[in-house]
């Protein structure tokens, strides 16, 4: 199929409506946008539509482009992302972009849930207690990043590096990464997309290896970054792709 046929099929699968209608105030740009995103990017690499929509939603949440997030939240549900999975995609942004922006995205996704008659709150997905959050977080952290970030936090003024290390282990990995609905492999892949959007160069390097350690392939990482490209633009995507190439070349 050519890109026009692919575009129309993907767009209908996602939104239940027709692409390339020539209608509206900006039909030329919508034609360019739809053919590129849904006709070309959406068939680059071996990602499912479900994976692509989770990546798109977390990218839009990170950027705080909330009208587009609302549209793609509906598309995500339409292609099989469960409400619990979608909520976890949004919750996952908190350690990367902070609670206020995460809550903005949660409010947007909740609008979609309410419009679709999905009862809130959703089923709880937390798996840790006050007593085991550190132990659980350390096990996840050690699997992904042996050695943690202790060297980075050494000699922080006031000796507060230990607190930051603890926050990362107990909150980021203990309370967020251990939650249900999404597996660790998916969380780390989505986290890479957040870091790509933020252009967080040093974290992209370390999280490349975290992805490999949890079973994501370099090809999957590359496809995920390309999936982000239409939403974040070429400069940010090329930066992440260069880092993938750089880290991949070190081992090959």
In a domain, 163, yes or no: no
**CB neighbour list of residue 13: distance below 8 Å, 6 or more residues apart:** 49, 78, 79
Instruction: Pick left, alpha or beta for residue 45 (phi over 0 → left; psi -120 to 50 → alpha; otherwise beta).
Output: left
* Closest by Cα among 116, 33, 36, 24 to 70: 116
Looking at the chain, the whole-number percentage of residues with pLDDT higher than 70 is 98
pLDDT band at 251 (very low <50, low <70, confident <90, very high): confident
pLDDT band at 156 (very low <50, low <70, confident <90, very high): confident
- The pLDDT tens digits for 54-95 are 999 999 999 999 999 999 999 999 999 999 999 999 999 999
In a domain, 38, yes or no: yes
Predicted confidence at residue 149, as pLDDT, reads 64
36 is in which domain, residue-wise?
Answer: 1-43
In a domain, 9, yes or no: yes
3-state secondary structure of 133: helix
Cα 27 to chain center, whole Å?
29
- Given a cut of 70, whether residue 151 has pLDDT beyond it is no
Residues 200-220, mean pLDDT to the nearest whole number:
95
In a domain, 34, yes or no: yes
Q: What is the pTM of this model?
A: 0.95
Predicted confidence at residue 16, as pLDDT, reads 96
CA 180-148-168 angle, to 5 degrees, is 50
- Return mean pLDDT, the chain: 95
In a domain, 36, yes or no: yes
- The pLDDT tens digits for 113-147 are 999 999 999 999 999 999 999 999 999 999 998 87
In a domain, 12, yes or no: yes
Q: How many CA atoms lie within 13 A of 176 on its CB side?
A: 25
pLDDT band at 35 (very low <50, low <70, confident <90, very high): very high
In a domain, 26, yes or no: yes
Residues 10-30, mean pLDDT to the nearest whole number:
97
pLDDT band at 47 (very low <50, low <70, confident <90, very high): very high
Dist CA 157 CA 60 (whole Å):
36
pLDDT band at 159 (very low <50, low <70, confident <90, very high): confident
Predicted confidence at residue 1, as pLDDT, reads 82
Number of domains, the chain: 1
């Amino acid at each position: 199929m050519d890109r026009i046929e692919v575009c129309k099929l993907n767009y209908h699968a996602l939104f239940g409506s027709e692409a390339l209608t020539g209608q509206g105030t900006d039909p030329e740009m919508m034609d360019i946008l739809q053919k590129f995103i849904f006709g070309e990017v959406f068939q680059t690499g071996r990602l499912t539509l479900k994976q692509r929509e989770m990546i798109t939603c977390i990218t839009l949440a990170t950027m705080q482009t909330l009208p587009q997030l609302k549209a793609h939240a509906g598309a995500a549900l339409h292609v099989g992302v469960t409400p619990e999975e979608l909520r976890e995609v949004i919750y996952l942004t908190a350690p990367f972009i902070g609670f206020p922006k995460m809550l903005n995205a949660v409010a947007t996704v909740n609008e979609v849930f309410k419009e679709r008659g999905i009862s809130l709150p959703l089923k709880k997905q937390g798996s840790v207690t006050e007593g085991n959050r550190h132990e659980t977080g350390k096990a996840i952290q050690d699997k992904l990043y042996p050695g943690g970030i202790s060297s980075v936090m050494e000699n922080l003024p006031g000796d507060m590096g230990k607190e930051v290390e603890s926050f990362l282990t107990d909150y980021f990995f203990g309370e967020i990464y251990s939650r249900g609905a999404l597996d660790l492999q998916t969380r780390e892949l989505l986290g890479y997309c957040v870091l790509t959007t933020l252009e967080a160069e040093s974290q992209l390097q370390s999280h490349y290896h975290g992805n490999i350690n949890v079973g994501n392939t370099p090809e999957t990482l590359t496809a995920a970054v390309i999936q982000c490209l239409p939403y974040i633009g070429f400069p940010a995507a090329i930066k992440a792709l260069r880092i993938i190439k750089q880290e991949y070349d070190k081992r090959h």
